[in-house]
Structure 1
């Protein structure tokens, strides 16, 4: 069965590089207010966007692109069983993400909740990557035991 949504496996490494670099940039912009010099938005209406730098947007785009490249990269031996594992891992990641959202909806308030929502955008692909790689590890262990 051919899945047209998957990209070649070599993009997984590129995705990891983009994700790690963009995550570091995002943390630098969030916690140390780092801005790329000369990356400011020039708008005629300076009252709303007097000094708006696009570094944060670049970091967010990089994290999203990197996570999607990792998530949708093919494995070396892509078959129907692996497709089923992918589907189950996506289901798990969505359930966990919404479970976290539901719990923290009653625990966090105000700007803390909005900050959490920004990070919660990444919960689905991150949980998917973790669960999928763990499932692949278990599958390889099972196949190795069968070969003995």
Structure 2
């Protein structure tokens, strides 16, 4: 089966390491109030909105970021998930292709079903937390479903 969009199989372990480290770090980071001056850096922002504290909003600014740890965790989850989800299997045939497509459709439908539920029943800052998690859930649902179906068959 010719699949040009898939990475070589050798990258799967790197993807799993990034994904697992990102998810574990994300859970720890979310449940604890971690702040360190070591991770306080100046970053380039394409847009920095004006808010209560920062009266100097605008485009293309260098701003101080209190902790780049959350960005590093998010990138680890996204890159790891993309690598795990879109690397070839050792045997990449029509059956694996069908499992991959079915899992992707299932993940998107489940993700948007959950999002619709939260739009209707969850409000204020809790809804914002759901949206943050919603960045990662389609990829995680896809990986879980694909690997579950693959190992079940």
TM-score, normalization: structure 1?
Answer: 0.82
Greater strand percent: which structure? 2
CA separation of 1:42 and 1:73: change in aligned 2, threshold 3 A = same
Q: Does 1:69 align with 2:80?
A: no
Matches within 5 A, 1:98-109: 98-109=112-123
Q: Which runs of 4+ in 1 moved over 3 A?
A: 47-51
CA separation of 1:85 and 1:110: change in aligned 2, threshold 3 A = same
Paired positions, count = 137
CA separation of 1:29 and 1:41: change in aligned 2, threshold 3 A = same
Match of 2:60? none
Q: Which runs of 5+ in 2 are unaligned?
A: 44-52, 55-62
| 8 Å Cα contact 1:41-1:54 kept in structure 2 | yes
Match of 1:56? 70
Q: Which runs of 5+ in 1 are unaligned?
A: 140-148
RMSD: 2.1
Matches within 5 A, 1:63-102: 63-102=77-116
Match of 2:50? none
CA distance in 2, matches of 1:51, 1:124: 28
